Amino acid sequence: MPAKASKATPILLVAEEAWKEIAAGLSAPARRFAETHGFEGKSGKVLAVPDAEGRIEAVLFGTGKDSGLAENPFLAGKLPAELPAGRYRLEGTLARPDLVALAFRLGGYRFDRFKEMERPSASLDLPKGVDAGLLDALADGVILGRDLINRPANDLGTGELAEAAKALAAKHGAKLREITGDALLKKGFPLIHAVGRAAENPPRLIDFRWGDPSDPAVTLVGKGVIFDTGGLNLKPDNSMLLMKKDMGGAATALAAASILMALNAKIRLRVLLPMAENAVSGNAFRPGDILRSRKGLTVEIGNTDAEGRLILADALALADEDKPDLLIDYATLTGAARVALGPDLPPFYTDDDALAEQIAAAGTRSSDPVWRLPLWKPYSAMIESKSADINNAGVGGFAGSVTAALFLKRFVTETKSYAHFDIYGWVPSAKPGRPEGGEPQAARLTAELVISRFGRR
């Protein structure tokens, strides 16, 4: 970054109530230009104003009633696409300069793997007090997650997703093992194998470890269904269009791991990624099948489109055998979660009240919001089976996100601090700092939670 901030064009944060005072400090040409364009500090309005020689004197950025971007620091993510090429600095009191800088960085993201796109070329001098290393770690992790979720299934099969995990593990010196295809049966992962056995892309389990063995153990598990047809309970075409993002849980786990390793978190990290494609062929698993899980619990298949919880069950059982200090899973698991809370607010589930408070606080601090829903035990009756220990889909159609979380909880019996995130993994319409497309929801929250709980080396 250039050393002389004075050469950067100022971006003035303008709340509506402060506009008259700020306008008075502009040159006469700049003030007249702003008045001609009706600028009043309305939220999200961006206007470059000229000096007497026609050069940009400043950029006015309206924050509405949100003085200092205290309520919505990610509004700054709108700036990169609206600014001319050049170098800029923010002027004004920022409530969270770190989040504003992150929003600016992420607002320049474009998924251009298959199409040429013009990337914003505006750069921002870091606001005072912002940790450049932390900013880079957060931005790189989110971009990794976005890139993975945005890739279509013909470009990102189980093998390619595994390669992305291997590249991340190698970058940070993590030790990795991979179990593929029929070897999953020999190693004790029958549910992962059953879900993925019908596909050309073989099912896999990635397991990598990083950190000092004497540090607290943190395990992240991510659902990696690279495409979900629904299996023999075939989805309708409109429900299948976005199923490339059904590996969003795995992408989120990798994004969170990327951030934590880059920040040298004082933890012993383990990442488990069960991967499969839920396809249709003659050997696809069927409704009514009864499968034995790694944990020994038998599972009746009530619906082949409830496959994500099956591959997670085997991976969670493996994670639970280690009894980590903290276990978190991420999954694009249920439409019911979207009906309840919409696409921007993923629910999370935990029996640990102290952990729940820490998660909620970390979500607020990181502007990565989530909302706790209950592991309501009476609803366990909905996933009972007459022929097996548990049914993967249950009956009734109510409380789908809750019953899915209750299903997963059956496979975590030894770990005290466990949380499940039912994420959407997608931004359906563009927002500042969050372009339409893949989004590793709860990854930044996880980094905030883990660092605040265990620290950095």
Q: Which residues are catalytic?
A: 235, 309
SS (H, E, C) the chain: CCCCHHHCEEEEEEEHHHHHHHHHCCCHHHHHHHHHCCCCCCCCCEEEEECCCCCEEEEEEEEECCHHHCCCHHHHHHHHHHCCCEEEEEECCCCCHHHHHHHHHHHCCCCCCCCCCCCCCEEECCCCCCCHHHHHHHHHHHHHHHHHHHCCCCCCCHHHHHHHHHHHHHHCCCEEEEEECCHHHHHCCHHHHHHHCCCCCCCEEEEEEECCCCCCEEEEEECEEEEECCCCCCCCHHHHCCHHHHHHHHHHHHHHHHHHHHCCECCEEEEEEEEEEECCCCCCCCCCCEEECCCCCEEECCCCCCCHHHHHHHHHHHHHHCCCCEEEEEECCCHHHHHHHCCCCCEEECCCHHHHHHHHHHHHHHCCCCEECCCCHHHHHHHCCCCCCEECCCCCCCCHHHHHHHHHHCCCCCCCCEEEEECCCEECCCECCECCEECCCCHHHHHHHHHHHHCEC
Q: Are 19 and 41 in contact (CB under 8 A)?
A: yes
Distance, in Å, from the CA atom of 66 to the CA atom of 13, rounded to the nearest integer, reads 10
Q: Name the residue among 143, 145, 279 with its Cα closest to residue 201.
A: 279
